[in-house]
Structure 1
Amino acid sequence: MTKPVRLRDFIEDKDGWIYAVSTYDNADKIGCVLRYVPDADGERLHASGTRYKKYDFEDAYAFIAKHKPQYADLLQRIPYGDVKRVWKPDEELPQIARRHPRVQKLVDLFGLPNGTVGCTGSLLCGLENEASDIDMVVYGQHWFTAQALVRQGILDGKVEGLSEDMWKKVYEKRKPEIPYDQFVLHEKRKWNRGQIEGTYFDILFTRSYDELNRVHLGKGTVIGKQTIEAKVTDASLSFDNPAIYEVEHESVNRVLSFTHTYSGQALAGETIEACGVLEQHGNERWLVVGTTREARGEYIISKTLLGQ
């Protein structure tokens, strides 16, 4: 039986365009974002000799709207009949590690069972360059084991933490709505990123196959912008995409973050302040953070962490 397409897989369409799968909701069409297109002047070179141009988020949407409007949606939606190839991070990991010694070192650090860890991003489709980061993927509850190993690895000196300059680069890239010192305070306890021999890496959470249907997230009815203070009751999917926080609040049941900045932002039992767009989902109300790419005016902070 063919394994379902899931978040952080990559796919190639019949024209050789390469996309990053960006959702678990892939029943009818695959939800993804365009990343690479064959281009004789492209800056990325595949081992096959084909050159590719890399597309950032906004450019990808514009390019799809112009050239393949039939795929345009909140995410690009590719019919299964148009898919030529699927890359799965866990299945491709052995060959990625063979050509990339730093990936092998991370695999050795984690020591996780086969099929529970993978590598996504440019390395997955063979389009990395010297400056490419390493995007490791860890599936299901094994992610928390990897998180603990990154923490211990940094403390033991097996991998490096981020330098002050690197934190500033991450902050500038993310452009969050919270001050730099608060951003770093939240980030440093996530233990989901580091450097290995000078190369930046992160560990990304993806649900295991048996958890794919654990939560269904449809589009709700927008009520309006709201800021709430609430107690987190369950943060077990707080590193997922979207990050999910079950909360105790008089009217809001759940806080979601569609921006990676606010994943893992709070632990169960902590009090958060969150600003986002309130949506009605059946009998529940969810506060959604990251309703735009840069989440302008939207945020999550742990008031407990900040001592507020």
Structure 2
Amino acid sequence: MQTVESSLRQRWGYLAKDFVETADGQLFAVVVHGVEAGRVLTSLRYTRRSEGLRKLGSLESQQLLQKQHPDWLYHCPRRDVQLHGVPESCVIRHYRPAAFLEEQRQLYRAAHHPTLAPALKAIRQHLDAGNLETGQLEAGQLAAGQLAAGHPQTGPTGGGLTGEWGITGSHLLGAAGADSDIDCVVYGMKNFLRAQQLAQNAMERGDWQGLTPEQWQAAYQRRGCELSLAEYSWHERRKYNKFSVMGTKIDLSCVDNPPPEALIAGEKIGKTQLLAQVVDDTHAFASPAVYRVSHPRIQSVLSGTPTYAGQAVVGEWIQARGWEEHTLDGSRRLVVGTSREGSDEWLKVVSAPAVDGKVGNREEDAVFRSESG
């Protein structure tokens, strides 16, 4: 039976959350499925040095490409934004999260010592036993095993996720340290929602833990978004895609076919801020995330920034700032997070507007004030 991951890869070849490496030792995260004008659309994240891989910030990566490969600074006409467009002919290695995880499984079976041995031990035990009860494994092993195999006692639909998820980020590249996060990518929205439910169940049982204040602070500083720490953590906690296992931070993200709106070319008009109600959140965890909204002029809000995936649900009012675009089908949309840090751009839940059009207080606003005060 074909997996969602293999189906996506058959269609697109390169998938978001993959990495590619070039001959001069630059490693790029793929940010858009497929190939456009002979280029893989990416963001430079690491450079290979004699002492190992070194992670690059956004400004440093931009400066490096301007110096060494200015022709790789590619203006994507469909998205009207600059990306790092690596010519496919320059790719010497393609790192794939699901294939990497399967390699680790094989290494474990061969009694080698893979990077993720504890997680793979849990996967093997779950697949072999099929119906292990909570408590038969250590918490960290149970966590990884449930994600890999779809624990039949707790999974919302039963059945396994084997082959439908993988490991990306520093672990995929062999650059992880002892305290590195584990970045998990789940293929297909249904599979992602199942993994998300498993995470929520495990956290409610106490098998997995929420992030500590220190971990939330570190995640917030690394993301560098325009929200306050209190706003950021309030939105993130309810997504159940960040948690801690044996002290290690785990991140879940979804990779699927892009929403239809993301495939329509748009032209930037200017920076805009709006207040609107979400009327459709079907693609809230997609990449890019899409929120259809009720607004006099703008039909949807899009964001390719992970911070704003799953940020709001149907019925909630959002405040968003980004680039307004006019699309080829005649509609208008707001694009939030046109750079990795999304400077001067944001998307957050607020209260419904009062009669005079101003935003009033609500319970969560009080939470924001008390946490930040």
For residues 116-195 of structure 1, the aligned pairs below 5 Å read: 116-141=164-189, 142-195=191-244
Cα displacement (A) at 1:258: 3.0
Q: 1:26 aligns to what SS in structure 2? A: strand
Paired amino acid for 1:129? G
- Equivalent in the alignment of 1:295: 342
* 1:262 to 2:262 alignment: no
Alpha-carbon contact 2:259-2:286 (below 8 Å) kept: no
Aligned length, in residue pairs: 296
Paired amino acid for 2:33? Y
Moved over 6 A (4+): none
* 1:109 to 2:146 alignment: yes
Alpha-carbon contact 1:117-1:136 (below 8 Å) kept: yes
Cα displacement (A) at 1:25: 4.8
Q: 1:92 aligns to what SS in structure 2? A: helix
Match of 1:240 among 264, 282, 286: 286
* Separation in structure 2 between the aligned mates of residue 224 and residue 290 of structure 1, nearest angstrom: 14
* Separation in structure 2 between the aligned mates of residue 113 and residue 177 of structure 1, nearest angstrom: 35
**CA offsets 1:108-164 (integer angstroms, 9 cap, x no match):** 122233321111011112221212110000011211111111111111122111012
Alpha-carbon contact 2:288-2:303 (below 8 Å) kept: yes
Paired amino acid for 1:123? H
* Separation in structure 1 between the aligned mates of residue 145 and residue 278 of structure 2, nearest angstrom: 34
Instruction: Report which stretch shifted further, 211-220 or 253-262.
Output: 211-220
Q: 1:23 aligns to what SS in structure 2? A: strand
**CA offsets 1:32-59 (integer angstroms, 9 cap, x no match):** 122333312x3xxxxxxxx333322221
Q: 2:220 aligns to what SS in structure 1? A: helix
* 1:75 to 2:91 alignment: no
TM-score by length of 1: 0.87
Q: Which runs of 5+ in 1 are unaligned?
A: 43-50
Alpha-carbon contact 2:22-2:90 (below 8 Å) kept: yes
Assess, with a 3 A threshold, how the Cα gap between structure 1 residues 195 and 295 changes in structure 2: closer, same or farther. same
Cα displacement (A) at 1:219: 5.3
* Separation in structure 2 between the aligned mates of residue 269 and residue 54 of structure 1, nearest angstrom: 40
Paired amino acid for 1:68? H
For residues 13-32 of structure 1, the aligned pairs below 5 Å read: 13-27=22-36, 28-32=38-42
Cα displacement (A) at 1:176: 3.1
Assess, with a 3 A threshold, how the Cα gap between structure 1 residues 281 and 34 changes in structure 2: closer, same or farther. same
Q: 1:147 aligns to what SS in structure 2? A: helix
* 1:36 to 2:46 alignment: yes
* Separation in structure 1 between the aligned mates of residue 248 and residue 98 of structure 2, nearest angstrom: 21
* Separation in structure 2 between the aligned mates of residue 177 and residue 36 of structure 1, nearest angstrom: 25
* Separation in structure 1 between the aligned mates of residue 221 and residue 23 of structure 2, nearest angstrom: 36
Paired amino acid for 1:251? R
Cα displacement (A) at 1:29: 1.1
- Equivalent in the alignment of 2:102: 94
Assess, with a 3 A threshold, how the Cα gap between structure 1 residues 298 and 53 changes in structure 2: closer, same or farther. closer
* Separation in structure 2 between the aligned mates of residue 38 and residue 291 of structure 1, nearest angstrom: 27
Higher radius of gyration, 1 or 2: 2
- Equivalent in the alignment of 2:111: none
Q: Which runs of 5+ in 2 are unaligned?
A: 1-5, 75-81, 109-113, 121-140, 150-159, 353-361, 366-373
* Separation in structure 2 between the aligned mates of residue 213 and residue 187 of structure 1, nearest angstrom: 22
Paired amino acid for 2:233? V
Alpha-carbon contact 1:244-1:255 (below 8 Å) kept: yes
**CA offsets 1:157-197 (integer angstroms, 9 cap, x no match):** 22111012221222233333333322222111010111111
Structure whose residues are more often helix by fraction:
2
Cα displacement (A) at 1:102: 4.7
Paired amino acid for 1:261? T
TM-score by length of 2: 0.73
* 1:62 to 2:111 alignment: no
Q: Percent identity?
A: 30
Paired amino acid for 1:75? L
Instruction: Report which stretch shifted further, 229-238 or 126-135.
Output: 229-238
Alpha-carbon contact 1:96-1:103 (below 8 Å) kept: no
Cα displacement (A) at 1:214: 4.3
Cα displacement (A) at 1:255: 0.3
Alpha-carbon contact 1:102-1:197 (below 8 Å) kept: no
* 1:223 to 2:264 alignment: no
